[in-house]
Each structure stands twice: as C-alpha cells, then as structure tokens.
Structure 1
Amino acid sequence: MHGVRALRETDPRRIGPYEVRGRLGAGGMGEVYLAEARPGVLLAVKVVRGEHAEDRTFRARFRHEVRAAQTVGGAGTYTARVVDADTETERPWMATEFVDGPNLRDAVLDRGALPERAVRVLAAALGEALVAIHARGMVHRDLKPSNILLAADGPRVIDFGIVRALEGTALTRTGAVVGSVGHVSPEQIRNGAEVGPPSDVFSLGTVLAYAAAGREPFGEGKDAVVLMRILTGDFDLSGVPNGVRPLVESCLRAEPADRPTPGEILAAAGHTTASLRQDMRAGWFTAATGRPLTEGSDAEPAGRADGPGSGHRWLPGRDSGERESGVEYVAPLTVTDVPVPEPAGEPRPAADVAVRPPASRRAVLRALAGGATVAAVGGAVGGWWWLREPGSGSDPAGGKESGGASASASRTGGAVPASLAWRARIGQVVDTSGPCGALSPDGKTLYVSVEGKGVYALAADDGVVRWTAPFASEELEFLPMSPPAVAPDGTVLVVTSPGGSSPGTLWALGPDGDVRWSREGDRLHTEVPVIAGELVLVTYGDGVGAGGVRAYGTDGDVVWTAPVPGGPDVAPLVVGDTAYVGGYDDRLHALSVADGSVTWKADLKSEVARPAYLFEILAVSTNDDGNILYGVDGDGRRVWTAHGRGGGYASTTVSVGDVFVAAQADMLVATGADGSSRWTYPAIGPLPTPVERAGVLYLRSGSELHAIDGEGLRLWRLTVGSQDGNGSSPVVGAGRLYTVTSAGIAAVELGS
C-alpha cells in the first residue's frame, strides 16, 4: 500500500466515526491519515492543523473546499470522491476515497517519462475527469502532476481544495491567483479569479508534457522566470514524442478559445469513452508502460529514505518539489530595472497612441547582466518603464516623463508583461473615490464620464471614440455626474445630480449610446452605481437628514429603498446576497440585496467608509481620530481594531491575498485578516484607492502607476502622466489597465 507510515504518538486514533490506521502525509491544510470506515473500506482523511483550526479565514477556506469537493467525483469520472466531512468540529476534517498508487510526479521521478501509449491513456482519462468537473459548473484551477494519482484501475484527479464554483461565492472575491508555478495558465497569471474551463486544459497540457518528456515544459528557476515563460509561450517540448506533441501544443495555446475542449482531448488521444473503459482494466499502467505500480516492484537505490522522489508518497504536498502558489500566493513577475529606448521614426497612431515593439527575453537577460551600463545608457532616453526586483535597492535617477516604454518579451516575439498602449485626449474624466470608468462585458469598450461633456465610449484596444452621449449637454457643465457602471446585459448606468436636496437622475444607456430610460430620484449621489444581480444600487441623501440606498430594476422601477441615516457617503460593497454600506450614523449597515431589509448594524462610533471583504471578515476604516480600521465579522461583531500610522485612512479599503490594504496619508498600510500589522508601502502624496486584480495591487502615485504584490513588494512602475489631483482608481480588465491623465485616459497593456 503506497505512502502509508506508522502513526506517531501524537497522531489521533479516531477521526469522527473512523478508525485511523496510518499516516499518509501532510498537505497545505493539515495532516492526512489512512482511516477505515468498515473492514476493507479505506479512506484518506484530511485534518486541519491545530494552529489553523481556530483561524476564521482558514476555517472558511476549508468549509469552501468541502462544499466544492462534494459536488465532484464518483465512478467513471477519474476523480477522487469526497465521502464525508465535518467542518464545524474543533479539528475540521474531510474524508475522500483512498487511492492506492503514487502520484504522477513521483512516478516520473522514480521511473522516468511515460511511453506514448500511457500518455494517450492518461490524456483521455484526464479529459474525462475535466468533463465531469466542468459539468458541475466548476474549474479545478490546480491541475498538476502531484494532484494525479496512478491507481491500478486508472488515474484519479485529486485535491479540490482550491476548486471554485463558476457562479462565485464570497471566497471568490479575495482576488487570489490559484495554482502552482509551472502549471498555471496565462489567464490565471493575468486574471486570477476570472478563468474558465480552458485554463484547466492549459494545465492539462503542462501535465502531459511532463509525463511524456519527464521534465517541466516551462523549465525550472525562479517563480518570476517560469511565469514569464508561461506568459510569453516559451515552452520546450523537445522530449515529447511526435505522436502526442500536437495534442500537447494545442492545449498550450495562448488564447483560451483556441484550446481543445476536454471532450476533444479524449478523441484526440485516440479514445472513446467505451475504449477508455476497456483500457482502464486492472493493470492498465503495467500494460501501457511495462512497469507495475505495486510498491516495491522496482529496486530502489540503497539508503533511500521516504521523502521527495522516494515513490512512497501519494499525497501532493509542499515537499513534492512543485512550487505552489496556493490559495493566496502570487509569484511576483519581476526582473531588474530595464529601460528600453523608444525606436526612432515610429509613427504615432490615432488617439495619441504610444506603441513600442517588445524586447526579446534574450535582450532582457543581457540587460540584467549589463547592470549599471544599461542604466547609464537608458538615462538618455525619454521613456522609462521600471521593472524592479523586490528589495533591489533605490530607484535610478533621471528619465523624463513620456509615453512610457515596454520591456521584456519572449524570444518567439510574444507579448510583454506591460506597456503603454494608448492615450486618449478626451477631456477631464470626472473625479471620484471609485473607479474611473467601466468596461463592457466583453472587455472591448471602455466607458468614462467626462466633465461638461457626458459619457464617452472608447475602443478598448486603441482608444478610438466610438460614441458620446451628451444626454444633458446644456446642464452637464454645471451638474456633477458619476462614473459609469455596466450591467451584465451591457446597459451603461450613470447618475447626474446637482447635490444637496435637489433631485438627481439615473440614466440607462444602450451599448450604442441610446437612452433606454431615465429616472429622477430624490438627492441621488454621484457615486458610481453598483450592480447587484439584476438590480442597480444608488445611494441618496444630503449628509444631514434622511438618506439611504435605492434599488432599481432593469426597467428603471424602484424595487426597494433602505433608509440609512444621513445617506451613505460611498457606494455599497456587495458580497453575495448582502450589501454593506456606511452611514453618517456611525454604523456599518448590512442590507439584504433581495428586499433592502437590515440584517444587522455595527456601531463603529465614527463616520464609516466603504469596507473590504476577506474570508468572512469586513475591514472598515473610520474617521475616529483619523486612523482606525475595524474588523467586523459576518454577524456585525467588531473582532479587532487596528490603529494607523499617521493621517487618515482613505474612504475605501481593498483586499489582496491575505491582507486588507488602505491608503493612509502618503503610504499604503496592510493589515492581516486577524488585525495584525503586515507591511507599509511609501508613495508620493495623497493616494487614490488602489485597485486589486489577480493578486496584484495597481496604485496611482503622483505621475506613476505602481504594481505591488500581496507582500507589499513592487513588481514594476510606469510613468503615465499626472492625474492633476484626480482621486479616481484605475480600471483593470481583459488584460489592460485604464487610468486617468490630466487630459483624458491612458491604457496600459498588462500582457496577453
């Protein structure tokens, strides 16, 4: 029996109703034991570690794992089935069927690459497994060799600890990139939570390449280097047999839509469901490879102990040799500062676009070796784009502001991690504490509100103006207006209001700029409307008397109104079926999205700003002495208080990885989900609220745009021009970032 070790004195002898028979190993959440349900029926039981059992965020993570895992698995799916769990006991646990066999990584380390026939069978079985997973509306997100067990009757996909339902839950809003370095898809690196089934297909391609060649297709090295290779399509399939190489290459295509479906993989591997079942008879691995799976069948080197590569582990863990980014870790895409000169004679496209061809990775590596010489040469060029290794020292001096420059790309001429794409001189974008605009559902159109002009629709790829909507042109010069929000059906929503006790108007525009409807409302605020399913939430009030949140339906009719004394000062945060909003009554209000009823109120003794949500904890900044951040649980109880470091918090807190981040005076301050102080990040002058995407914070600091990881380390910075005091946050989506400039808007390509 693979991987079973004797129990230690400190190990439990019983877990729930099950007798513990041995120890299997340790995973990211805790210890795993072999248990017996009844004679001959064995289970693998994962038990949360003692130090994590009382951790609210960890328990929430485990609860989510179980709910996800119980919807997947069963006979014929080539996935390990979850049979029982207790997530509420003192030491939560989850039991899955025990799979007797090594994981694919260990099998390859111990026995070498699989022959082509075995790779085809493996590809077909894993394709079937993904069909089963995706049929439940889920994405695995961490398919890798150590998550595939080679049992006598076929492979099994295991570890649904980071599977997330596509419909989304509160936990999907943490903004984390999930996966293991070397096996994540390009869209996981760029988009984090916003990935679909094609992401699993990409990971399947890396698994098949590893099984067929006996080495990682994107090589080894620092996480940043490996992730860069993935982004630029720089893989090595030289060891993959010609018979399966086209299948592997198709899985590794850069564009998700160009990859095969799991069902197509089954056919491409030369199998039907019936023929695969035939090949999955007992001893399939021996028949395909000529090597038995039974333990001890291969002679092992003398003196070899259990451990990485020993063949005696089946459980994927952090000792398996695979670098895991896990649920809340993103490896920073960092290289040393590399300025790239702007090529001479390059024409400037429309919309004041600044375009630069990517440098090859070989050029970047030469620059890394060149060090000070490259920096000295770069000091003479106008455009600078800094990509800095965390902790690499002070910034080089010099470099005047320009359109920006790009750095680092693949030797195959692929896309780069970031570069300035275009600038559109459309006028002053409205100043807000929220995002500067919104993207259409397909990511092809950017909508922004321009002072005195109206709503502008810009082509996201080149900044060309598609249409404008000056629907109140005679008054807009004097009327404040909100940034636009976009509903799932493409409707563009914007509020205009003179403020005070005067009525405002909520406008609904079609994707082509036509006015679908408008509704006048008492004292509407010009904070960005918030989309909550089929409702649009708009705040109202004068800051003194009555105020609250008003919900409009898709036809413009008022569905409900929820009073909040004085009216909220910022837009509500919607998490699942609850909207959280602060009022001038010094309370955080939890409102039902369905009917506006009050679930609870938390008294925070000062004006409350927009909160952030992370693993069932809300972090809320207040104006109490200018620098207090409160942690509030799902029942409205205050669970911790964090004091700032001088100066008031910004109106909005965000979450990234496992921390809350708030702008405070001229720095970012990060606080753990338990209220502990984590890190600070200095910046230039007052800071707009940062925006989080895929585990990266994007921050405007003066004329610069900074990208920061969840540990507070800068990944890169780019000069994009002054915001002239505009406090709006960037908008990120579809591989680009959009940010305010003094004359309009700029787009930064984040990679593709």
Structure 2
Amino acid sequence: MLTPLPPGAARHIGPYRLLARIGAGGMGEVFLARRDQGQLVAVKAVRQELDVDLDDAFRVRFRREMAAARAVTGPFTAALLDGDAEARLPWLATEYVPGPSLADAVARCGPLPVKSVRALGAGLARALAVVHAARVLHRDLKPGNVLLTPEGPRLIDFGIARAFEATALTMTGVLVGTPGFMAPEQIEGSHAVVPASDVFSLGAVLCHAATGRGPFDDSELASVVFRISQGDADLSGVPDELRGIVAECLATDPDRRPTPTELAERLADGTAATPFPWPSDALSLFAEYRSAAAAFERSEFERSGAGEPPPPQAPPALGAFGPAPVLKRRRLPWVAASAAAAVVVAVAGVMLPDALRDDPAGTPAAGSPPDAGSASGRVVTALGNQGRSGEFGASAVREDALPDGWRPWSRKKPKGVDSMGKGCVIVRSTLVCRDGWGAAIALDAATGKDRWKAPGFSGKPSGIQENPPETDGERVFVPSELGVTGLDVATGDEVWRHEAPAHAGVVSVAYAQGVVYTAEFNRRAAPEPRTTVLRARRASTGRQLWKTSVDGKPQGALLVRSGRLYTALEGGGVLSLSTLAGDEKARVPEPACSGLIGYAGAILCWSVEHEGVRVLDSGTLASRRTIGATKEPDIAPVVGEKGVLVIASTDERAELPDRLTAYDWKSGKKLWDLPARGNPSALGLSRDRLLSVGSYEIRTVPLDGDAENVTQRTVPTTDTKAIDGVADTLTTPLYLGGAIFAESIEGRLVSGRAL
C-alpha cells in the first residue's frame, strides 16, 4: 500500500510532483505522482545513495530497461509514459495501476478460485505473447510483478527484461530472476533463457495463485534451486482442473511447455470473462487502493495550496461479480515497471529510438513523439494534443522551436492534390498535408518547398473530409474516406496501406501510443443497417489488432484516453470501447455532440446545436455538469493548462455578435466575454494566450481577458477569394515557434507570424 513521503524527501522527480511512496527495491524506489492535472503515474527512480554518475554501465542498463518497455505493445500491461536515463538520478514514469499485486492479494485474501486463476492465466499468457512478439523476454514473472485491476491482471516490471539478441549484462554466478519462479535453464545462465522460460515462471505463478505458495517453496535457497533443476514441483494443492496445465508449464524441457498463445486459448476455454471473475475479497482491495490514492491526492493538494485535485473517476457500476470493469488504462501500451522488484539483479534489453512527448494539455502522451520544443523531435498535431483540447503548449510561442531558416510563405497545393481533404501535421522540419483521396505532400516547414509526394487511393470520395493526419514521430498516418496509409515521414515511402472495404468509408482516424484507430461507416443506403466498424492497427506495421462493429455513425473525431476509445454518435449519444480488445464499455443515448475533448480525467461534449459544454464522466459517460450553459459553440471550444475554457459563439443581441467567452474549468464561473471581431474558424491555446484564426488573420487574446493586450496579424497570401459568397478562411491551424501553419478552404497552404 501507499505510504507518506518522509520529512525532507524530494517532492519532484523530473516534471512530476510526488504524492506518496509505493515501494522500494534493491536499486530503486517507486512513487505515486502526477504531472499538472494529468493522470496519476508511478515514477520509478534510482535511490539517492547510488552513485550512478560513476557507473556508465548502470545508465546503459537503465536505458535498456526503458527500451525493453517501449518495445512491447499489448493488453494486460502497464504503459510507459516518460523517462530520463541521463538525469543525475535516472527515472521512468509509468501508468499507475491502482490495485494490489497478486502476492499481496493472495496473502490478504487467500488462494483464488479456479475460475479466477484460469482468467488470470489467460490474461498473463496473452501479455507474454505480445512480449515475445516484440522479441523481448520478461525473465522475472512472479506474483509481485502482477498487479490486479477490475479488468484483469497487469504484467509489470521489465527491469531485467532481455531482448532475444541482446548481450547479457550479467556477471558469472549471478542469478537473473527471482528464486522459486525461475526456469531450470534460467538457473544455468542467461544465454540459455528462451521464451518458454517465461512460460515456466507463469506456471509457478498460477500455482501460487491457486494454493498460496509456489511449487518449489523451501526455506533454503540451495534447496529451491535443486528442486527446480530436478523438476521436483509440489502441485498437491493445485485443483484438479488446473494441475495438468500447470504441470505442463513446469516441464523441465522447454520444448515440452505450451506456447503463450496455446496457454491462453486453453485457459480461456473459448470464453471471455466479462466482467473479470475476481472474488469479492479481491474487489474490496481494488476499492481500498483507489481510496488510498485519492486520499494522498487530497493531502498533497491541501499541502501545496493548489486547490482541489482533478475530478475523481466515478465508482464502477455493480455487475455479476461486483464492480464492472472501468478501464483506466491507456490503450495498447508500452509495457513498463510500476512497482520495484523485490530482487533487483541485472538489466538487459535493446536500444530503441526515444518516443516520448509532453502533452501540453497536462497529460503525458505516452508513446508519442518527443517534446515539441526539442529541435530534434518537434511534433505538432491538430488541436495540439491527443486530448484534442486545443492546447499547443509553450513551443507554440517559443521562437527557438521554429525550423531553421523559417520565413513567412504562401503557396497552392501541387497538381494532383485536391482540396477535398483538410489537415496537416508537423514532424520536425516537415509539414505533411493530405487530400481527399488520401494522397499526401510533404513540404519544408521553413520555406514551403516540396519534399515528397505520396499517392492516394483509387475511387472517388463523396465530399469534404476534415480528419487531419496523425503521427508517431517516425511515420505519418494519412486518412481518407477511401482508406488509411502509413508513410515514412522522412521519405514518403509507404509502410502499410489499408483500403476501406466495399460500401464502407473511413470517417475518423486517431493515433495513440503505437496504435492507429479507424472508424469505417457502412455507406449502403437504407434499409441496410447503419453500422460502423472500429479497428485498431499497429502503427509500425498496420497489422490489425482487433475490430468491432457498433450501431450508429461516428460524429467528429475519435478520442483515445486512458485505455478507452470514445466517439460521439450522429443523432446523439456517446460510446466508449476498451482499447485492449474493442469491447463496449459504456454507451449513453445523449447528449448530442459535434465533437469530444479529453481533459483532466473527464470527457467534454460540445455541439453546434446545443448550448454549453457538457462534462461527462470518463467511465460511465454520465453528464456531471455543464459549463457555459448560455453559449452555443460555433466551433470546437478549447481548454488548456491554465484551466481556462473558451467558447466561440454568436450573440445576435450584441452589437458585435461574434463572441469569445472564457470560463474557469473548476468552478464553471465566467471569467470574461470579448468580441471576436470576425467569425473565428478555429481556436487554440498556448499557455496564457488564446489563438483565434479566421480569414487570413490571427488574433491572440490574453487568458486574463485584458482587451488592451489583444494582438492581430495578417497571414500572408497572394490569392484570396470568396467561395459561394463566403470569404476564404484558414482551417486546422498548427502553431509552432510563434508562427501559424494552416490550410485555407480553397486549398492554399500558408505560414506566417502568429504573434
């Protein structure tokens, strides 16, 4: 359980504020922490007394621990969010899993029933399958490295993970793993360890879960090692229904053990446990852990004088086995440690490119590209962050974030690239924009000159599409009604391509943490059912992870937050799915939403047809409150790190009808109301400034509402005209280094000073 921070202890590690201590191991400590108003995280840091500055090999091992964590994506794991191996005391931040370890649960509640053990084993086997698919071995699977949640187990702590081809960073005679849960070949030496070694450990874990003790328990370490090497497992207490399969996992010969995929299929027995079949005693532990985390949050906010903590998640509804699953994870994630191992030995893995970015809205965007302010890894996407809240962060106005040699520019799209598809993304110094057929062009963001062009799909789109490209920093994912393509951002080479099925059209695309999500709507005319197929694909390869068919058509962009995929539905209602397997988690018939925003643990629903911005519970989707109840948004509202929500609306009674109105996020109190001076086409935020763009003009308004400090600039263009009587305006703007990058309705691409 959580314990208070000792007097005089550090209160921050990296950008994270520490709230409590989770645990400790031989080399590290783990803390409950939060960054601004983002999600709770577990920060694992090297102990203060370790002199890591004198040990380069330690930093190599720590980097490899992080690399091994990023190399894996799959269900039943905890997400790596951030880390710094070069800090004076290296640290990494993972998703916080508010639940006990399997070791703690068994110690406090006793052995699990057979149904729970089967479901537990199936989940852990699936986790191992994706670990091994990434060519990583866990090498320390034990009850302490399995955390329990209402949705199932989470495999954590890749602190001694090793890539298949990696050179072992161990010393002769050092056991890499935990005695009692190690395979015979693991005892022989790290070079003999194979994927089946993790299966052996899983068998020992299942024995512990079913009986309360391991199959090789003995008071003497030498006896434990001897019993493992001789295959002397004590399974006398394992129920008959489980004894055979556990014995197969514990076979001395690795070739005789089942694979993780086979094991998952046999333990699941062709059925899915929903909700997860935990006994009632375990369910009470989940509530205890959630309450403890909430108490430390309140204590820290009171101590720091920061006001009230972000709104808590609503308690889950009761199901057949108690609380129904309320998935609080971040989609198919990067696996990482969130609790320290009791035995810490050596770390090994592979070196992979860094893939971290700070989400300027206050929530770390795990698996996303590097910080937008970094010259080597700046990334800017539509609406600023994965929550689509409009917050572009400090890099939007910091001039040193601009690409080298930048100057204002304006140009038309090249021939063969139409204006039926809108939206762009910036990756380092490259601006990538799409068209209606899914073709993409890459420009030098500094000058607007061509870099590469990629072809789209055959066929004909039915109309204007405004779903911008997405990126993971290495690839750009180009949407089209006709399909989705993954392109190498440096060269434009096609990495993968998914063409929409016949009679279906891709209406929405989102990227989060190594996965691309698409929504394909059935375009057949009535009386055909109005259904949508939602898919999850591996961003690096395009391989389908799951697909789900749902009733209704998505409205606006897909939103991925904390392990759930959200979409508004045309005609009213909101739906959420698990990002693990695509199963439906919640659905409400109202409100009607033009779009969704993720912010501070809640889901915001806004509509061009209804007044106010609804705040929905992220778990149940129930409406909790309404902000700006007298304002009907004309475009997507924005809310950012200053906790100010801004709505653009029209008030025909006012002398200047186009209005910008700001509200305090926490209280809902109106802060100010100013004329927009033109009908804005898009809003954005950069810390203490509101960015309002319209017809080749960009206005910035201080978030304190000081009208005397409003600025306005004209964006360069050589050709403006009205279309159907409406003045040409800029759409889906991006902000970086004090400059705006945008596309106009008539197809011109421009970049100019915003401040």
Pairwise TM-score range, normalised by the shorter structure:
0.3 to 0.5
| TM-score, normalising length: structure 2 | 0.44
| TM-score, normalising length: structure 1 | 0.44
